[in-house]
Amino acid sequence: MEWLIPPELTELQRTVAHFVRRYLHPHERAVEIADHVDPDLMRELKRQAVALGLFAFNMPEEVGGPGLPYLAQVIVREQLGHVSMALSEAVGRPAKILLDCQGDQRDRYLLPAVRGEQVIAFGLTEPNAGSDATRISSSAARTAGGWVLNGRKHYISHADIADSIIVFAVTDAVKRHKGGITAFFVDRGTPGLEIRRQQKMGWRGYGLAEMTFDDCFVPDANVLGDVGDGFKLAMKNITEARLGVAAHCVGMGQRLLDLTIAHLKNRQLFGNALGEFQGVQWMLADAAVALESARLLTYQTAMLIDNGAKDVRGQVSMAKLAATEMAAKMADIALQLQGGGGYMSETAVEMYYRDVRAFRLGEGASEIHRNQIARSLMA
Ligand SMILES: Cc1cc2nc3c(=O)[nH]c(=O)nc-3n(C[C@H](O)[C@H](O)[C@H](O)COP(=O)(O)OP(=O)(O)OC[C@H]3O[C@@H](n4cnc5c(N)ncnc54)[C@H](O)[C@@H]3O)c2cc1C
């Protein structure tokens, strides 16, 4: 795939690949076992990522990011798929919604997040509103000097460790997602905010949490964007986030393919290397075709955006669908070909088998992307 990558980005790709191998892989096994990343370790890894200019690689130069084109961003993100989700966070990618910070919010939230000093979570999903986020029911009512929040969110990435959570709440029950939802920074320690880490299948060391707001007071200064603009803000950067997931899954698929090829060459069965059996070769070939197809779709979509394409929603959905479904199949094939060893927790294959599953749900479930692709085709 090197011919697709302009020479000026090859060095960047090598730098991230080296960082992943040299600084992140050594901790992968311990993080899986503990289901925890030591905060001091994460601080140090982030410091190294900042020093290399990799941290906040999705951010523009005016706020301290590198201002990379989308193709460069997907190349970085792809390399981060070569390590567990938890450790990939060392090369953080703050939510782009933070670019809508106004006034002193830039110093309180945006700039510390870009420097890797603060974690800001994104709280949209609720028990009755996931794929259909227009149905959120958490509410914010006006009071002197601010707002009083009530409601519940769940499955929120990093809410367990976040310094602040961007919470979307209904401020006008009639307008709802058409001008009646507002985004608020709710800071850790706010009275009435309760956060509980949730148990899950994979992504060990990467917390998801549910939270409740019980008459939480949030000052006016913590409104992100304009009152009523929350839903628009939540959707504004969704395309980019989805393309990032596609790139991450391409990286996961590549590491799984590499592990599988190494195993097929080494494992001796019935007097042959396992990889010499035709049935196995066909599985490998089909998996490699799916991987390259997903990678091409992802790169092509990034290039379309870089070239100024206006509406890439259908294209992004194709990339996200292809890459997440490919990674899931790749994990299954990798585990099957490793035999019992693939089922054992010592292998990265077992970790990936659990980790890839989430990507067909988050950032739009596969079915939502099929809907979008069909809509774009028929527009
Ligand atoms: C690892 C992980 C991290 C997450 N991080 C965050 C986060 O940081 N912030 C946040 O706000 N949320 C987060 N989420 C939540 C995520 O966005 C939701 O899980 C997702 O939007 C799906 O919503 P749901 O779980 O309520 O499923 P539902 O909306 O109930 O959907 C269930 C299933 O129904 C099917 N379905 C839904 N709609 C349709 C349709 N129109 N046609 C056909 N089939 C359909 C799909 O198969 C879907 O998977 C995270 C989730 C996971 C798993």
Looking at ligand 1, which residue's alpha carbon is closest to its atom 17?
362
Told to judge if 363 belongs to the known catalytic residues of this protein, a careful annotator would answer yes
Q: Would you say the CB of residue 359 lies under 6 angstroms from ligand 1?
A: no
State the DSSP H helix or E strand holding residue 113, giving kind and residue range, or none if neither: helix 111-114
Q: How far apart are CA 298 and CA 244, in angstroms?
A: 9
Q: How far is the CA of 263 from the centre of ligand 1 (A)?
A: 35
Query: How far apart (Å, rounded) are the C-alpha atoms in residues 31 and 379?
Result: 46
* CB of 155 closer than 6 angstroms to any ligand 1 atom: yes
Please check the confidence at residue 367 and state whether its pLDDT lies above 70: yes
- Look up residue 2 and give its amino acid: E
Q: Give pLDDT tens digits for 180-202.
A: 999 999 999 999 999 999 999 99
Amino acid at 105: Q
Tokens standing for 318? 């194709």
CA torsion sign, 307 to 310 to 313 to 315?
negative
Cα distance between residue 51 and residue 94, in whole Å: 17
* pLDDT averaged over every residue in the chain: 97
> Given the CA of residue 360, which atom of ligand 1 is nearest to it?
49
The verdict on the CB of residue 154 being under 6 Å from ligand 1 is: no
For residues 329-348, give the mean pLDDT.
Answer: 96
User: How far apart are alpha carbons 76 and 92 in whole angstroms?
Assistant: 11
Q: Separation of 155 CA from ligand 1 center, angstroms?
A: 9
Cα gap 166→173, rounded to integer Å: 20
Return the pLDDT at 346. Answer: 87
Backbone region of residue 55 per phi and psi (left: phi > 0; alpha: psi in -120 to 50; beta: other values): beta
Asked which of 3-12, 147-156, 282-291 is least confident by mean pLDDT, the reply is 3-12
How close is the Cα of 130 to the center of ligand 1, in Å? 5
Please write down the HEC assignment for all residues of 117-154: CCCEEEECCECCECCCHHHCCCEEEEECCEEEEEEEEE
Q: Decide whether any atom of ligand 1 lies within 6 Å of the 147 Cβ.
A: no
Q: What is the mean pLDDT of residues 20-36?
A: 97
What residues contact 335, with CB distance under 8 A and at least 6 apart?
342, 343, 349, 350, 353
Bridge partners for 170 per DSSP = 139, 181
Q: Which of 28, 89, 210, 363 is catalytic?
A: 363
Cα 255 from Cα 257, distance rounded (Å): 5
Ligand 1 within 6 A of CB of 354: no
8 Å CB contact between 57 and 68: yes
Query: What local confidence, expressed as pLDDT, does residue 2 receive?
Result: 61
Nearest to 92 by CA among 131, 52, 151, 123: 52
Nearest to 77, CA basis, from 91, 87, 66: 91
**pLDDT score, position 176:** 94
Following DSSP, what letter does each residue of 60-84 receive, concatenated?
-GGGTS----HHHHHHHHHHHTTS-
287-315 pLDDT, tens digit each: 999 999 999 999 999 999 999 999 999 99
Expressed in angstroms and rounded, the spacing between residue 367 Cα and the centre of ligand 1 is 10
Provide long-range contacts, Cβ within 8 A and 24+ apart, for 100-103.
100/224, 100/225, 100/233, 101/224, 102/225, 103/221
Ligand 1 pocket, 124 CB below 6 A? Answer: yes
Q: Measure the CA–CA gap between 67 and 70, rounded to whole angstroms.
A: 9
pLDDT of residue 22 exceeding 70: yes
Question: Contact at 8 Å (CB) between 149 and 186?
Answer: yes
In short, whether 80's Cβ falls inside 6 Å of ligand 1 is no
> Residue 355: in which H helix or E strand, if any?
helix 348-355
Q: What's the rounded mean pLDDT across residues 157-186?
A: 97
**pLDDT tens digit string along 210-219?**
999 999 999 9
User: Does the pLDDT of residue 94 top 70, yes or no?
Assistant: yes
Query: Which protein residue has the closest C-alpha to ligand 1 atom 33?
Result: 365
Q: What spacing in Å lies between the alpha carbon of 108 and ligand 1's midpoint?
A: 30
| Cβ count within 10 A of residue 375 | 12
Place of tokens 């479904």: 325
Q: Is a pLDDT exceeding 80 seen at residue 3?
A: no
CA dihedral sign of residues 373, 375, 378, 379: negative
Q: Answer whether 238 contacts ligand 1 (Cβ < 6 A).
A: no
Exposed, middle or buried by CB within 10 Å (0-12, 13-18, 19+), for 273? Answer: middle
């390590």: which residue's tokens?
Answer: 83
Q: From the CA of 360, how far away is ligand 1's center (Å)?
A: 9
